[in-house]
Structure 1
Amino acid sequence: MRDPHAGWLQRVQIVKGWVENGEAKERVFDVACSDGLTPDPRTGRCGDNGATVNLADCGVSENKGAVELRTLWTDPTFDPNQRAFYYVRAIENPSCRWSTWDAIRAGVQPSPTMPKTIQERAWSSPVWYAPRV
């Protein structure tokens, strides 16, 4: 659910981690998309919802994104014999980076060496899975 003082939600992801042959692995699944989009079956990613940022005043799209995203998800790669962890990550629409806000307030151009926008994130505590022995 969107914080009323934060940006609109763009997508929700599940991040899965596990160890395979002694090497740490991680995979990200987009599981809920805003604006009526669904994860692409081939890539597993949400398409671009068209949210924009006006770099002159840091205004954002008011008609893109969601107040709430929810879904029911099952791990398509689940192995009952493999230890794993999962956590949820929510990603907002793009917004101005703090340095862009500062440049606008100061009446100067933002630094060309820094990204002008960011996508804020929130994440859950992990859920750990261990096979029964």
Structure 2
Amino acid sequence: MSTPDSPTWAAPNDVEEFKRQYEVDAADLFNNIAVLVQRIRLERDTSRTQLAATNETIDNLEEQVTRLNLDLNVARAAPAPTVSVPIAAAPPPTTVPAFRSEKFPDPEKFDGTHTKLPGFISWIE
């Protein structure tokens, strides 16, 4: 349905001018009113369609927010997942030779006796 082009209309400044403008031929007044009513209906219908689409979008977004909140609450309530962290294997023990040099053999292990401490220290120096 197409709306006819509205005739050029000079709006009256006051009621008296309005009466004079349409007193002779009221048909122009009714035609102008009909065109205005058609425009108002078209704009009303367009606005209703846009409003319905907007409401549907809002409903969809509210549903998505509700689902995300539920997922978040479930995630918060679930125990933290256990993550296995690989532990590096300890390096194999290094073998220490019985002595490091034939000229300077390793000293005997100090057993903690205080009387043997001066001799142990002098042997290390």
TM-score tier (shorter): under 0.3
Task: Give the TM-score taking structure 2 as reference length.
Answer: 0.20
Between 1 and 2, higher relative CO (CA 8 Å, sep ≥ 6) is seen in 1
Higher gyration radius (CA): 2
Task: Give the TM-score taking structure 1 as reference length.
Answer: 0.19
